[in-house]
Structure 1
Amino acid sequence: MKLARWCAPRLVWAWALVGSLAACASSPGVVPGSANADGEVIPPGEAEAMAEVTRTLEATVQRGFDQDGHAFRDAHRKAHGCVRATWTVLPDLPPALAQGLFAQPGQYDAVVRFSNGSGQNQDDDARDARGMAVKVRGVAGPKVLNPTLPEDRDTQDFVMTHHPEFFIRDAAEYLAFVRAMDGGGWHQAGWAVRHLFDTVPRILAFTGTRIDNPLHSRYWSTTPSRLGMGQQMKFSAQPCAASQFDTAADSANHTRDRLGENLFRHLSEGPACFDFMVQRRLVPEHMPIEDPTVPWLESESAFVRVATLDIPVQVPDQGSGCENLSFSPWHSLVAHQPLGGISRMRKTVYESTSALRHRLNQTTR
């Protein structure tokens, strides 16, 4: 029962990592039951499962607005801060890596949002996922979506969490999880018992790593994306080798908002930077597209640095400017289109909940 009660609030942040669409056209070129060139295969019942998850999520956002008079993010609600950064694509990349945004060396303005995964504004010491979302601006080229907002027309978003694998395989498993968590204590307990040796350990791993400073953690894409046409990748960001942190001060802080406070303190004293790396899908039989619970082993394909993210000294934005930003893995070049069922689920959720939240709050995205 303790595990079931613990799982229930995690339902909300889990929704942020998935989304839904009641039409298989969410991934162009994917025909149900057959594999496309990127290795995507849509299983039976996916569209129906996605539609039900979306309806539940939208109802949750609306219910929160009705109760509080303000619509918050359905997940990753608590931002530790949004920061300005410079994204630099490295020169002389090998042809296999010089794809899409990485095709030419250059510098771009970027915004980074660090957050907790929960849909609640909870204590930073609580078990939770941690997020890093990067919005690179001024990126030209064909986009996956037909952007209706000016900011989407020249952006490339990279959305990451601090664990390399997701905890659920596909839409059907996720729908079963949603129904159990939404059904009350006995449903939650029954689901936890049935999945005690598969999904539950993955959830505990996904939310179990403690961090003391958002700048001092590694983050992963969890799900795959294209790397140009005909290749696939996962990506990751980790602190640059020369990064220095006051780890004693970070770990000694036990306040409710310690992650944001440690972020603030670090950037008031010095800059930070991340190496952005990609991992090519070199062994397809060991690196599935449709099952993000399976690790892509670095022993079979190492992560290779393709860009750097430099964050100068500044005061992180922890107010409305940060709250009004929208991040989605589908704000993407065609060359980096998200892949797999979990990514297909994320597509509409990110757009629909963001649009709903801004409409209810009468704010501009």
Structure 2
Amino acid sequence: MPSPTRPRRGVTARRLALVAVLGTLAGCGEEPPPALGEERVAPGEAALGAAMTERILEIGERHRAAGEPIPRFNQPKTVACATATFEVPPLDDDLAVGLFAEPGRFEALVRFANATRQDDRDKDLRGASLRLFGVPGAESLAGPPGQQDFLFNSHPALFAGTPEAFYRFVEAVADERLWWYFVNPLAPQPRSLMIALRARGQPDSPLAVTYWSTTPYRFGEGRAVKYSLRSCAGDPAPMAAPDPDHPDHLRHALAEQLEEGEACLSFQVQFQTDPEAMPIEDASVVWDEDASPFRPVGRLILHRQAIDTPQALARCESTVFNPWNTHPAHRPLGGINRLRRAIYQAAGAQRTTHNATLAGESPP
């Protein structure tokens, strides 16, 4: 990520303190096995989260000082922004929880994104962020109540799946040496590197991708799930990009499809059935779909619309998605999600305020 100033170097008192925190996190003693849906908050996690927020805001400050728009720390390119309807059908009793308790329809907004690349032709991890509006009982961190957010990646595991791993990743990005996260001989990350390499793909359309939440969420009391968003059974195959050599070919592919008609994505849940093989606190571990298959609980209908207008793209650019905009029955679980609450809120406020000011608009 380009920067007009060099990041701070050297060993500081703050970093020495964080080294001690990381050692504490890594050195926890033996504990009894967790129960289904049980979280285990490590000592020092709050300090780790505060340090990560500081470093991410530091990156944004470099862009602000250079008079540049501040991109999202993760998934910076908005590939497409579409309105939709989220439909909940009648469900079995074990699925009829929270926003899925009764059949219903909710207005929705979905943002498709690239994780790191501005050019759609490059291999990359892809993402989707979904917001539902008017969900009874859903609580928002900012803005009106009733907003329910879901975040997805195009790979079922995160390469930095614990708070301490994610902190090391943030440090590497802030110091402009991302490669060091993967090859640092003092803290090698070969498994993280393999996940990162396997996660990259070159799809023909955002609708040709299967998305996973990677992190777990409550599904009523004492139960945990991961989410997935994938093509509806029997839905026509997504259209191939009309201009595959264009850097915005994914946007163009979806735009062409939604000019012709609707598209459907199935929203599914996978229950945690083994608290050790399906951990809450490590998002780098894939939950076995043979042991616990995904089950459909809703459908996302993308209506016929124009998605490649400046107004459509600007709407998603000004939206701050956060998994803590949620119904209590679907509260985020695990260390990565606990960190996301403050980090996404602070970084989102910095980004939207500065970018609106830069564009001569009123901050949101």
**Smaller-chain TM-score range?**
0.7 to 0.9
Deviates more, 1:68-77 or 1:162-171: 68-77
Using structure 1 for the length normalisation, give the TM-score: 0.82
**Aligned-pair CA distance for 1:140:** 1.1
User: What is the CA–CA distance in structure 2 between the aligned matches of 1:170 and 1:178, rounded to whole Å?
Assistant: 12
Amino acid at match of 2:63: G
| Residue 350 (1) aligns with residue 349 (2) | no
**Aligned-pair CA distance for 1:132:** 1.0
Q: Could you report, residue by residue, the CA deviation over 1:216-255 in whole angstroms, capped at 9, with x for unpaired residues?
A: 21111000000011111001010112222365x4286121
Preserved contact between residue 240 and residue 275 of structure 1 (Cα < 8 Å) = yes
Preserved contact between residue 111 and residue 134 of structure 1 (Cα < 8 Å) = yes
User: What is the CA–CA distance in structure 1 between the aligned matches of 2:198 and 2:132, rounded to whole Å?
Assistant: 29
1:274 maps to which of 257, 265, 271: 265
Preserved contact between residue 63 and residue 69 of structure 2 (Cα < 8 Å) = yes
Preserved contact between residue 180 and residue 191 of structure 1 (Cα < 8 Å) = no
Residue 97 of structure 1 aligns with which residue? 95
User: What is the CA–CA distance in structure 2 between the aligned matches of 1:160 and 1:36, rounded to whole Å?
Assistant: 25
User: What is the CA–CA distance in structure 1 between the aligned matches of 2:138 and 2:258, rounded to whole Å?
Assistant: 35
Percent identity among equivalent residues? 34
2:131 maps to which of 109, 132, 135: 135
Residue 14 of structure 2 aligns with which residue? none
* Alignment CA distance shift 1:169-1:321 (3 Å): closer
* Matched residues, number: 325
Residue 21 of structure 1 aligns with which residue? none
User: What is the CA–CA distance in structure 2 between the aligned matches of 1:319 and 1:187, rounded to whole Å?
Assistant: 34
**Aligned-pair CA distance for 1:192:** 7.3
SS of match in other structure, 1:289: coil
Using structure 2 for the length normalisation, give the TM-score: 0.82
The structure showing larger relative contact order (alpha-carbon pairs under 8 Å, at least 6 residues apart) is: 1
Residue 227 of structure 2 aligns with which residue? 235
| Residue 84 (1) aligns with residue 83 (2) | yes
| Residue 195 (1) aligns with residue 191 (2) | no
**Aligned-pair CA distance for 1:198:** 1.5
Residue 22 of structure 2 aligns with which residue? none
Preserved contact between residue 207 and residue 254 of structure 2 (Cα < 8 Å) = yes
* Alignment CA distance shift 1:214-1:102 (3 Å): same
User: What is the CA–CA distance in structure 1 between the aligned matches of 2:65 and 2:241, rounded to whole Å?
Assistant: 38
* Alignment CA distance shift 1:286-1:246 (3 Å): closer
Residue 203 of structure 2 aligns with which residue? 211
Preserved contact between residue 159 and residue 192 of structure 2 (Cα < 8 Å) = yes
Preserved contact between residue 78 and residue 112 of structure 2 (Cα < 8 Å) = yes
* Alignment CA distance shift 1:36-1:60 (3 Å): farther
RMSD between aligned alpha carbons?
2.4
SS of match in other structure, 1:80: strand
Residue 318 of structure 2 aligns with which residue? 324
User: What is the CA–CA distance in structure 2 between the aligned matches of 1:181 and 1:42, rounded to whole Å?
Assistant: 25
Q: Could you report, residue by residue, the CA deviation over 1:36-70 in whole angstroms, capped at 9, with x for unpaired residues?
A: 87311112332222221110100111211221343
Deviates more, 1:323-332 or 1:65-74: 65-74
Amino acid at match of 1:307: G
**Aligned-pair CA distance for 1:127:** 2.6
* Alignment CA distance shift 1:232-1:117 (3 Å): same
**Aligned-pair CA distance for 1:180:** 3.7
Preserved contact between residue 80 and residue 263 of structure 1 (Cα < 8 Å) = no
* Alignment CA distance shift 1:193-1:43 (3 Å): closer
User: What is the CA–CA distance in structure 2 between the aligned matches of 1:68 and 1:228, rounded to whole Å?
Assistant: 46
**Aligned-pair CA distance for 1:160:** 0.6
Preserved contact between residue 324 and residue 364 of structure 1 (Cα < 8 Å) = no
Amino acid at match of 2:341: K
* Alignment CA distance shift 1:157-1:217 (3 Å): same
